[in-house]
A = this chain, B = another copy of it.
Amino acid sequence: MSDELRRRAWAYLSRVAESPSPELAAFVAKYGPVEAACRIKGGLAPPELKGRVEARHEVDTAADDLDLLDRRGGRLITPDDAEWPQLAFTVFGSAKVQEKESGRAPLVLWAIGPARLDRVAARAAAIVGTRAATAYGEHVAADLAAGLAERNVAVVSGAAYGIDGAAHRAALGVDGVTVAVLACGIDVPYPAGHSALLHRIGGSGVVVTEYPPGVRPARHRFLTRNRLVAALSGATVVVEAGLRSGAANTAAWAEVMGRVVCAVPGPVTSAASAGCHALLRRDDVHLISRPEEVVEIVGRIGELAEDPEHPQTPLDGLSREEALVYEALPGRGTRSVEEIAVAAGIPAEQVLGPLALLEIAGRVQRREGRWRIARG
């Protein structure tokens, strides 16, 4: 049995049922792709699969589809290939998500671009968000994506307008790897205004879809695509999202598949951040403000974000008594030990010790038996 025959069978199977189909996956697992394709084409699908394949089982455009893919320099990634990413699509718990669509793995992946998908998925984060992004959201998405790409984390997104586009572009801008996951065929320029962007991603990263050529985007395909975005990524970061958005759906997929969900806060006056704030109300969602915090989640063990610097104050490192004495000194002018004692509310004989330590530390000065705060 030639590899080309298997490849044709996979391509045929990719179109015969809407992806993902657990019934088709089970059938292929039983018979292998070639025999499974023959049986379905011959009208011999078992009852549980018949409904899924009946409308399309006589449609075989596999050869044309693969020609198109070859002409564009693409490849069909199947479980036969070393590049096939071993992703966990197991869905934990949430009946709500399971009702809508099974969390199963795609049957195959149509891909264009030099990045190897299995390697990419080992160190990747999704950056997703609303198409109606604000300047703030696009700025933060770009900042996160560039920071991740510079730290060798692949930036996965959905190639939509707004947050997705800002993330892809920023990753490309620092020569990083970015992955666009489509809800349509690899030859369908969607959204139309991102044709050039998708071409650039296919030139240095990878554009990938579970849908065969020619398939148009549809709402249920966006929702299905979102699970693949989440599955390819160790963490999903929602940068801006309305209360009801595709990004929130991707976050839901990430959660039920056991990936880490992250969200970026924004102004509470911005509807574009309302979905992020709804996510952040939950205990298990990480608040993200810097790329390092995402690397900490998707990176190697011990790859920790440094604490941001805290501003310093003159009282840092002082004991309670030293602080009381220091604070009892006036902003200008001097005080005697007795005056300090009254102001600080501690006995005079307990004032001298702290004063001496503060003098050694260069924080206070003595002038003719009186004390003042040291300047400069």
Contacts and interface: CB of A to CB of B under 8 A. Distances in A.
B56 A220 contact: no
Interface stretch (A106-114, A194-202, A276-284, A360-368): A276-284
B342 A274 contact: no
Interface stretch (A4-12, A32-40, A47-55, A146-154): A47-55
Interface residues of A, number: 58
A220 to B, nearest CB: 6
Given A51-B346, A280-B287, A315 B219 contact: yes
Given A264-B268, A280-B265, A55 B328 contact: no
A320 B264 CA distance: 31
Query: How many copies of this chain sit in the oligomeric assembly?
Result: 2
Interface in A83-122: 99-101
Nearest to A56: B342
A243 B347 contact: no
Interface in A215-259: 216, 218-220, 242-244
A139 interface: yes
Given A220-B324, A287-B281, A345 B265 contact: no
B308 A243 contact: yes
A97 B274 CA distance: 34
A198 B276 CA distance: 38
Given A100-B320, A265-B277, 16 more contacts: A18-B346, A51-B346, A59-B342, A99-B320, A140-B267, A216-B343, A219-B313, A219-B315, A220-B320, A220-B327, A242-B311, A244-B313, A264-B268, A268-B289, A268-B290, A281-B286
Interface of A: 17-18, 50-52, 54-56, 59, 99-101, 136, 139-140, 216, 218-220, 242-244, 264-269, 273-274, 277, 280-281, 283, 286-290, 308, 310-311, 313, 315, 320, 323-324, 327-328, 341-348, 350
